Amino acid sequence: MLSGRARRRLEAHLDSCEACRQELAELRVTVEALGSLSMFEVPRSFALAAAPVAEVWPRPTARRLEFGLRLATATVAFALALVVIGDFAGLAGEGEKEMPAASVRTAEDKAPGVQGGEGAFAATPAATGTPAPEGTPASIEWAATATPALKGTPVPMGGTPAATPAAEETPTGLEAPPVGTPPAEETPGVIEGAPPGTPTEVQAVPLETPPAAETPAAEGTPAALVPGYAEVQSPTPEIGAGVSEDEGPDKGVTERAGVEEEAEAGAAYDQAAAEAQAAEEGGGLSREEAVRWLEVGLGAGVGVLAALWAFARFQTSIRSRA
Amino acid sequence: MVIADEGQLVRSSRKGDLDAFNTLVQVYQRQVYDLCLRMLGAAAAEDAAQETFITAYRRLNSFRGGSFRAWLLRIAANACCDELRRRRRRPAASLEAALEAGSSADAPSPLAGPEEEALRRELAQHLQQGLATLPAEQRLVVILRDVHALSYEELTEALGCSLGTVKSRIARGRAKMREYLMARRELLPRQFRLKD
């Protein structure tokens, strides 16, 4: 409603303005026409034949448990995100630095003949053929310096980075094994470009063996490199599934109602009910409180463990890179 | 319509007295159905109205006093908005077409003659078509204010928004309705035609 002064000003304006007078009249007609609408008759009675199941708000304990689980899930998810970022940031390269070196060292130890000219030539593709997916040149160079036999073979080393991507997909280069090299069938990866001959066959076994042992580690990098990865990863979906199941009806109810205040009112009601129940139960540690502490402990424990694990993982990553 | 012992009926309903709740249903079902019909059309109005009362019964504990009518209409409005949202995802028949099928349920005026009744129906049809052109939020507030005659206080409760928002929506909705009707002024009954 307009105040007396505003109304007088409006009337004064309307007296002088034909357009506004016309618009006001049209608005009045519109409102009058809308007001003339009568309500539709109901086609049937909407009375309820039977009482619908009353909407049950989750019990306070269930809500707290849900919150605890959510918290734990969020913590674990955050820790996993950190680990994934860490892996992408450099841990993958670091894990693979060691593999070629290890394989070359093993080759050296177990097959001293590799240090010869042809043997060295044969050892090189094996070293590059180890499942070093990225096969960073740095790692190869490091391997070369660690194995004096490889120093004398600059040509294969020069070709190493080019050959490395193939090695990613087909471990130890299955392409074009030389014809007439029976060991190539048994140990397909080693003999690429290696001249046929007994020494090579002898060398091939120790050269091939360590990468074969390490291959799953390179493929399933997270599980292999991080001891607790699989254990931590597997509970996560369970926690998530539990939360989503709890969340589902709650979310649906909230959306169906679309009334935030009602939800708040419901929460307040539940809180009051919980308090009343606690009051009824009297002193001591009530069941509610015990469950709450259990939830808090559970959530905090999972969170701390996950954080520690993530921290240790980062430490390892940084140390390895250094 | 406000019944004298509405508060008592609500309290009894909260305790599980279905008869008390059904008394409230009888009082407000026409208004709830009318809102649903004008918002959604005949096809979906019945379901929305029934859903409103079921939801209301389930949520009686969340009613914190005030106008029960506004609270009920708020649930109805939410049901309508949900349905409209669903329709936006799966577009189907237009609201006008849906309403035409159910417009025969419009209550006839007992005092009107055949000619007046025909004019009234025609006007109702135009108005409904005009309402259908409004955005849902403006349509809702215009229906509740100008057709159902809710007070501003009830409107703020029913719509869950501030008085300023309510007034603003009413002003915009009425302005659009005015444009719609004035573009078809020759179709209006005599009493609604302005003298030039």
Q: Which of A26, A46, A261 sits opposite B25 (nearest CB)?
A: A46
H helix runs in chain A, sequence order: 4-16, 18-35, 60-86, 92-110, 117-129, 137-146, 148-151, 154-158, 160-169, 183-186, 198-219, 221-225, 229-233, 235-257, 260-281, 287-321
**pLDDT, chain B, mean:** 85
How far apart CA A94 and CA A25 sit, in angstroms, is 81
Give the A-side interface with B, CB within 8 Å: 22-23, 25-27, 29-48, 50-55, 255-262, 265-266, 269
Distance from CA of A280 to the nearest CA of B (A): 21
- Six token digits for residue A129: 């053929």
Q: Which of A252-261, A266-275, B45-54, B103-112 has the highest mean pLDDT?
A: B45-54
Does any CB of chain A come closer than 8 Å to the CB of residue B31? yes
**Taking the mean position of all CA atoms in its chain, how far away is CA A176?**
39
How far apart CA A171 and CA A59 sit, in angstroms, is 56
Amino acid type, B2: V
Q: What is the pLDDT of residue A196?
A: 44
Residue of A nearest to B109 (CA): A38
Q: Which of A43-57, A85-99, A302-316, B71-85 has the highest mean pLDDT?
A: B71-85
pLDDT-derived band of residue A57, with 50, 70 and 90 as boundaries? low
Q: Which of A25, A31, A38 sits opposite B146 (nearest CB)?
A: A31
**Cα dist from A230 to A87, A136, A140, A313, B42, whole Å:** 15, 27, 30, 14, 56
Distance from CA of A174 to the nearest CA of B (A): 53
- Six token digits for residue B183: 């573009």
Distance from CA of B117 to the nearest CA of A (A): 12
The closest alpha carbon to A31, from B73, B127, B36, belongs to B127
Give the best residue of A18, A251, A254, A262 to mutate against chain B (max B CB count within 10 A): A262
The closest alpha carbon to A214, from A131, A145, A296, A91, belongs to A131
Q: Which of B33, B160, B188 sits opposite A40 (nearest CB)?
A: B33
Distance from CA of B180 to the nearest CA of A (A): 10
How far apart CA A253 and CA A304 sit, in angstroms, is 34
The closest alpha carbon to A80, from A297, A226, A192, A205, belongs to A226
Give the best residue of A46, A48, A261, A270 to mutate against chain B (max B CB count within 10 A): A46
Contact B26, B53 (CB under 8 A): no
How far apart CA A127 and CA A104 sit, in angstroms, is 6
Residues of B in contact with A24 (CB under 8 A): none
Cβ separation of B50 and A46 shorter than 8 Å? yes
Give the best residue of A22, A28, A37, A271 to mutate against chain B (max B CB count within 10 A): A37
Cβ separation of A30 and B177 shorter than 8 Å? yes
Contacts (Cβ under 8 Å, ≥6 apart) of A243 = A66, A69, A70, A73
How far apart CA A129 and CA A159 sit, in angstroms, is 12
For chain B, count helices (H), then strands (E). 9, 0
Residue B118, pLDDT above cutoff 80:
yes
b/e B37-70 (16+ beta carbons within 10 angstroms → b): bbbbbbbbbbebbbbbbbbbbbbbbbbeeebbbb
DSSP A144-195: HHH-HHHHT-HHHHHTHHHHHHHHHHSTT--S-PPTT-THHHHSTTT-TTPP
Give the best residue of A22, A34, A57 to mutate against chain B (max B CB count within 10 A): A34
Beta bridge partners of A133: none
Mean pLDDT value of segment B127-139: 92
The closest alpha carbon to A165, from A207, A212, A131, A140, belongs to A131
Q: Which of A26, A52, A265 sits opposite B64 (nearest CB)?
A: A265
Q: Which of A37, A48, A269 sits opposite B21 (nearest CB)?
A: A48
Q: Is the ipTM of this structure higher than 0.90?
A: no
The closest alpha carbon to B14, from B52, B53, B63, B61, belongs to B61
- The model's pLDDT over A167-179, given as tens digits with 9 standing for 90+, comes to 444 444 344 444 4
- The model's pLDDT over A3-37, given as tens digits with 9 standing for 90+, comes to 889 999 998 999 999 999 989 988 998 999 899 88
Residue B111, pLDDT above cutoff 80:
no
Percent of chain B with pLDDT over 90: 56
- What letter would DSSP give residue B104? G
**Taking the mean position of all CA atoms in its chain, how far away is CA A306?**
14
Residue A84, pLDDT above cutoff 90:
no
3-state secondary structure of A17: coil
How far apart CA B125 and CA A118 sit, in angstroms, is 97
State which H helix or E strand residue B44 sits in.
helix B42-58
Of the two residues B95 and B123, the one the predictor is more confident about is: B123
- The model's pLDDT over A244-279, given as tens digits with 9 standing for 90+, comes to 334 444 444 434 444 444 444 444 444 544 444 444
Of the two residues A163 and A69, the one the predictor is more confident about is: A69
The closest alpha carbon to B149, from B61, B41, B35, B53, belongs to B35
